[in-house]
Amino acid sequence: MGKQTRKPRKRRKPAVGQGLSTRAIHAGEDRERYADSITTPIVQTSTYAFKDSKEIRAYTKGGKERFEYGRYGNPTEKVAQRRMAALEGAEECVIFGSGMSAIVTTILALVHSGDHIVITDDAYKKTLEFCSSYLQRFGVGCTIVPFGDYDALDRAIGPKTRFIFSESPTNPYLNVFDLVRLRRIARKHKVLTLIDSTFATPANQRPLEFGVDLVMHSGTKYLGGHNDILAGAVLGRKELVDEIRVLHKAIGGVIDPHCCYLLLRGLKTFALRMAAQNETAMRVATFLEGHPCVKRVYYPGLKSHRHHRIAKAQMDGFGGVVTFDIKGNLATAKRFLDGLKLCFIAPSLGGVETLITHPALVSYYEYSRKQRYDLGITDTLIRLAVGVEDADDIIADLDQALKRTRRAGRRKR
């Protein structure tokens, strides 16, 4: 296909006084709260009492807004959902007990036996596993297409296709989906579009502004921001989210009130954390790209990234994850990880602590070396998720571990 021309994005102008930080702190909360508390209280209950039979009828027949049972909603959860919707620019939001619960429930709510979906091959491993292995039990077909091959994506859509699912940026190579082209293809075939935007967050990218139908987040990561909760969210148009909410009540993947409280607490510093992590990740990526022990760096903010132009056009920041390939072999990668003193070796991301992981050892340990390499998971691939420590300290830790690894390699030779 020829070179695509991109129309400049029309940015939504928030109401006066409603910037990202303001929404992250105040959105979704009533001005007056129980006992005049500043923070939203934790309503720690599984069920709610009715005053009398008239109130039951007002609720069941008259549509009175109130709570009945914990699986159907909670006051603390309600505030978190409204705040998330305000950050993403969505009509509605439903929150789950984990990101995978959000993804699985959404997919099951949107398909019927005989339907078909299309997903890109750079999606999260567990998402791919569910779509390629489990959906067939329900008579739902799944086609996996190479990420970035928009012609293959176009061809994969058939008369029974219900939606296109992808991530942006992806894990671990931080590939960025051209959301303008995604919308064009989806509208041509009249199918829905779902984007997992966990790595971007609403601070850096809001897919709904590009016409994407549903956005998903693992609230475990940047939204919670402290490596202490599990949460997931789905956001979009009211009619679609309500459809998902119905199944959510039946499946029961709910988030508990205390986790909602921690999510709300984390969101209060969300804008500040993302600004710091965006800046630190850019500095770290630039440092690593110039390091003699590093073969290649993958970060959308770098001009060397194959989707830098797309990221620059549709993102306000490039995120806190930097993936890089070091020179050497598996033993080299292990020595590097073992030499770190500040960064924790851990598989998650998005918290205030800097975490680093080795996909081959942690996420793909059950795969053969050939299977891993076919997926692009090499022996020397490292994924770094920067926290909010001083950037100089993170860089110094990486530098000393890389240098120590190089010296150890020379001694062995």
Question: Is the residue at 204 inside a domain?
Answer: yes
Check whether residue 311 and residue 250 sit in a common domain.
Answer: no
| Beta-sheet strands, E only, within 160-207 | 161-167, 192-196
210 near 313, Cβ under 8 Å?
Answer: no
pLDDT tens digits, residue range 178-200?
Answer: 999 999 999 999 999 999 999 99
Total structural domains within the chain? 2
Mean pLDDT of the chain: 93
Of 23, 221, 335, 383, the active-site residue reads 221
Token output for 184: 């064009």
Q: Which residue, of 211, 242, 267, is where some domain finishes?
A: 267
In the three-class reduction of DSSP (H, G, I as helix; E, B as strand; rest coil), residue 136 is classed as helix
Check whether residue 93 and residue 111 sit in a common domain.
Answer: yes
* Residue 279 lies in domain: 271-412
Check whether residue 326 and residue 206 sit in a common domain.
Answer: no
pLDDT at 27: 94
Question: Is the residue at 3 inside a domain?
Answer: no
Token output for 316: 């306000």
Check whether residue 235 and residue 281 sit in a common domain.
Answer: no
Question: Is the residue at 15 inside a domain?
Answer: no
Give the residue from 120, 142, 148 showing the smallest Cα distance to 130. Answer: 142
Question: Is the residue at 403 inside a domain?
Answer: yes
pLDDT tens digits, residue range 73-92?
Answer: 999 999 999 999 999 999 99
CATH code of the domain in which 191 resides: 3.40.640.10
Q: Which residue, of 267, 289, 306, is where some domain finishes?
A: 267
121 part of the active site: no
pLDDT at 10: 45
| Res. 226: pLDDT tops 50 | yes
Q: What does pTM read for this prediction?
A: 0.92
Q: How many helices (H) and strands (E) does the chain have?
A: 16, 12
Give the residue from 292, 301, 297, 381 showing the smallest Cα distance to 333. Answer: 381
Check whether residue 108 and residue 190 sit in a common domain.
Answer: yes
CA terminus-to-terminus distance, the chain: 49
Q: 71 or 13: which carries more pLDDT confidence?
A: 71
Question: Is the residue at 284 inside a domain?
Answer: yes
pLDDT at 413: 57
Question: Is the residue at 255 inside a domain?
Answer: yes
Question: Is the residue at 149 inside a domain?
Answer: yes
Check whether residue 220 and residue 348 sit in a common domain.
Answer: no
31 part of the active site: no
Of 23, 122, 124, 213, the active-site residue reads 124
H/E run at residue 356 = strand 355-357
221 part of the active site: yes
Of 71, 78, 183, 283, the active-site residue reads 71
Residue 99 C-alpha from the chain's centroid: 8
H/E run at residue 337 = helix 330-338
Distance CA 321, CA 315 (A): 14
265 part of the active site: no
∠ CA 96-97-101 to the nearest 5 degrees? 70
Token output for 276: 């710091």
pLDDT tens digits, residue range 249-273?
Answer: 999 999 999 999 999 999 999 999 9
Of 178, 196, 213, 256, the active-site residue reads 196
| Res. 5: pLDDT tops 60 | no
Q: Which residue, of 236, 267, 298, is where some domain finishes?
A: 267
Question: Is the residue at 7 inside a domain?
Answer: no
Check whether residue 255 and residue 384 sit in a common domain.
Answer: no
How far, CA to CA in Å, does 308 sit from each of 56, 285, 338, 377? 56, 13, 32, 21
pLDDT at 217: 98
pLDDT band at 369 (very low <50, low <70, confident <90, very high): confident
pLDDT tens digits, residue range 268-291?
Answer: 999 999 999 999 999 999 999 999
